[in-house]
Amino acid sequence: MNRTSGRAKAALAASTLTLLLTAVLLAACGNGESTTATSNNVGEASSSQGGITDPATVSSDPVTDSGNPDEAVSSDGTSGASPSANTGITDPGTSTESPPVSGTGGGSPPASGEAQPDQAVATDPDSIAVLVNKQLGLPKDYEPKDLVYPDVTFTFKEKIEKRMMRKEAAEALEEMFAGAKKDGIYLAGVSGYRSYARQKALFESYVKKDGEEKAKTYSAVPGYSEHETGLAIDVSGSDGKCAAEDCFADTEEAAWIAKHAHEYGFIVRFPKGKEDITGYKYEAWHIRFVGKEIAKDIAERGITLEEYYNAIPVSK
C-alpha cells in the first residue's frame, strides 16, 4: 500500500512538472510575439518621420506630387525613378539609357516638376518645334500650308520664295525686328523658306564649288534643311554687310540677336562650340523659330535643339 502510494505521488509530481514547463514555454512564446510586434510598430513610426510613406497608404498610381510620372513609388513605399520609355528621342535630364551627347559643355537639365519636352512634336513636320537636322529630315513633297510674307525689311525687294515664312514665325519675326529697332538695331532678312527643289539646287552648287565634305559643314542635303520648314531665316544688318558670312558674328546685330532672340521665340540654331552636336559650323545669322517657351528654356540652359530633345549627336 505504501509502495503504490509512493508511485502515485511520483506520477503526480511528474505531471505537475510537465504542466509547469508547458506554461513557461507558452509564456515565453507569447512574449516573443509581443516584442516583435512592438519593434515593427516603432520601425514604421521612425520611417514615417524620415519621409518613407506607409505602404498601406500608397496609391497604385505611379505619379508623385511632383507631377513627373518617371518618379514612381515602388511597392515597398519608397520613392525612386523609374526607367524612361525607350522612344528613340528621350527626355533630357531623366534618361540614362541614351548615350550622352558629346561636346555639350554641360547644359543643365530641366528642374524637377518643370514641363518636359513633348517628344511627339520632334518628328512632326507641321509642328513649330520639329527637329530637322542631318539625321531627321522632312518628307520629300513637304510644303508648309501657311506661308506668308513677313512685313519686314529684306536685303532684296522681290517677293520670291525665300522671302516667305510660316505665319506664326513671320509674325514673331515682325515683333523681333520692331524690338531691335527700338534698341537702335536695324535688321534685314536674307533667306527664309526654301522648297526641296531650291535646296537641292543650292546644295549641288556648293558641292561643285567646295566639294561634298566641306559643303555639308554649312549646307544641308535637300530634305534635311530647316529652311524647308518655313521656320528658319538668315538675317543680317539692314545694310546687308556680312550677310550669311562669318564676319556677321562680330557685328552689333549679331550681339543683339544672341541676347534677345529667345524673347520672341527664336534661337541661334547653330551656336559656337556646338558643331559636334548640330553638325554645322557656327552661324550667328541663322535663327530658328521654336516658340517662346522652348526658346527661353534653350537660351537659359545654353543648349541646342538636339540637346533639348536629348537626340543622338549629329555626326559631321
Active site amino acids: 283
CB 63 within 8 A of CB 53: no
Alpha-carbon distance 115 to 82, whole Å?
A: 17
Which of 99-127 are b and which e, b meaning 16 or more Cβ less than 10 Å from the residue's Cβ? eebeebeebebbeeeeebbebebbbeeeb
Contacts of residue 315, defined as CB under 8 A and 6 or more positions apart, other chains included, come to 134, 279
Burial of 46 by CB count in 10 Å (0-12 exposed, 13-18 middle, 19+ buried)? exposed
Question: For residue 209, what is its C-alpha cell?
Answer: 564649288
Type of residue numbered 75: S
CA 26 to chain CA mean position, Å? 63
CB 268 within 8 A of CB 284: yes
* CA nearest to 278, candidates 249, 307, 258: 307
Q: How far is CA 96 from CA 78, 81, 83, 100, in A?
A: 20, 11, 8, 8
